[in-house]
Structure 1
Amino acid sequence: MRALDDYYEKNYPEFVALRTKCKEILQEEEDLSEIVQLVGKASLAESDKITLEVAKIIKDDFLQQNGYAPYDRFCPFYKTVGMLKNMISFYDLARHAVETTAQSENKVTWNTIRDHMGTTLHQLSSMKFMDPLKDGEEKIKKDYDDLLEQMTTSFRNLEE
């Protein structure tokens, strides 16, 4: 697994850190699933609810592929990195919002995030539907960057 790290570092420097963070989220989700089975999801901390939801997005919308769909038949590496970057950024921004507002009157919870950012969650799930052959690298990268900027702004507004 480490054999390609030099290539990644040279061409996609953020990928190794994103891959590591993704593995951590999935591992944490596996640990939390046992707790959820015993006591239910409602008893979890808000940050743990975020972990479960982002892990679901990663599994359903990033790792799961359909070899018959033209947008999903193959995934160029720039698309892989862009999708992962946005999913991990959403995770980091959501946890930051929950943790920094935990003691304030305007406390941000997972329900708050889901209610105010439903469109953003849909866009995160829909990133995989961009077709590298039809849309092209430039448009895909721009759309992913725009989504990241939109997420950052939305979380900033949510914390105010």
Structure 2
Amino acid sequence: MDGNVQTYKGRLVAKAAFHDYEIWQMDVKTSFLNGKLEEDVYMTQQEGFVTPKNAGKVCKLQRFIYGLKQASRSWSIHFNDTIKEFGFIRNEDEPCVYKKFSGSIVSFLILYVDDILIIGNDIPTLQSITTWLNGCFSMKDLGEAAYILGVKIYRDRSR
């Protein structure tokens, strides 16, 4: 935005490849619906769903819906609070990158809207992270990462 190029994510992926870390991908189903409304938000009734006796009424939203301007920020805050409970620390320079260290075990979590890359050097730890995330959110496990943001991830484990 200010003309400075941010390269932290690119460096992290390069380091993960160099150290032969596992790179798994997950998708959060209906991520924006996980956010909590902090204020009262009302909307008009949707065309086709208006009953004659309630024609002049509006709907008070209980949860976020896609397209609501506060939804992405609320989802980010909710995810940040949740993932910190599992011991992850947010990177100060790149707020969508989280890290967790335990002795020689290294884990990274990269969030892009509703896609998550889980990177690390210990399969049981990565499995515990995916199990924990599945308990917190409705998730789809995409297995070993192949594509992220239109970039193909190619791994040649022989080299």
Higher strand fraction: Structure 1 or Structure 2? Answer: 2
Instruction: State the structure with bigger RCO (CA 8 A, min sep 6), 1 or 2.
Output: 2
The structure with the largest helix share of the pair is: 1
Kindly name which structure, 1 or 2, has the bigger radius of gyration based on alpha carbons.
2
Same fold (TM over 0.5): no
State TM-score, norm by structure 1: 0.30
